[in-house]
Amino acid sequence: MLRSVVLAAGVLLAAGAAIAAVVWPIAWPASLEIGVLGLLIIAGTLFERRYRGRTAGADWQATGERFIDPVSGKLVEVRTDPATGARAYVNVDAP
């Protein structure tokens, strides 16, 4: 839901800036700034890294942290890579 709202805000900024640049040609510098901001919001939202996209390797260590994922309702364990400090969230089979 939040992702959709942020994307809509980025689209509105970019579209509004394009319209403002056409309607008020003298305001094109401000329109350019607002349009770039809108495009950055769109790009950042579409290309954000998700924690679910990361997979834990064989040398990753369990941190002891476990929780129920509110989206999937499954038990998740946190693992970390000692070399980089990266974290991965791995589904755990319920006992």
Structural domain count, the chain: 2
* 42 & 7 share domain: yes
Q: Does one domain contain both 39 and 14?
A: yes
Strand partners, 62: 79
In terms of domains, do 25 and 56 share one?
no
According to the model, what pLDDT value does residue 13 have? Answer: 95
Indicate whether 61 and 37 sit together in one domain. Answer: no
Question: Do residues 31 and 59 both lie within one domain?
Answer: no
Q: Are residues 15 and 35 in the same domain?
A: yes
For residue 60, give its domain range: 52-91
Taking a C-beta distance cutoff of 8 angstroms, is the pair 83, 58 a contact? Answer: no
Global pTM value: 0.54
**What mean pLDDT do residues 59-75 have?**
89
Which residue type is seen at 22?
A: V
Beta bridge partners, 80, equal 61, 87
The residue ranking higher by pLDDT, 93 or 5, is: 5
Same domain, 82 and 58: yes
Which uninterrupted H or E stretch holds 77? strand 75-80
Q: Are residues 39 and 61 in the same domain?
A: no
Q: What digits encode the pLDDT tens for the residues 35-52? A: 999 999 999 888 876 555
Q: What is the pLDDT of residues 83-92, one digit of tens each?
A: 888 888 888 8
Instruction: Looking at the structure, tell me whether residues 16 and 42 fall in a common domain.
Output: yes
Q: State the chain's mean pLDDT as an integer.
A: 86
Is pLDDT at 57 greater than 80 in this prediction? no
**Alpha carbon distance 79, 53 (integer Å):** 14
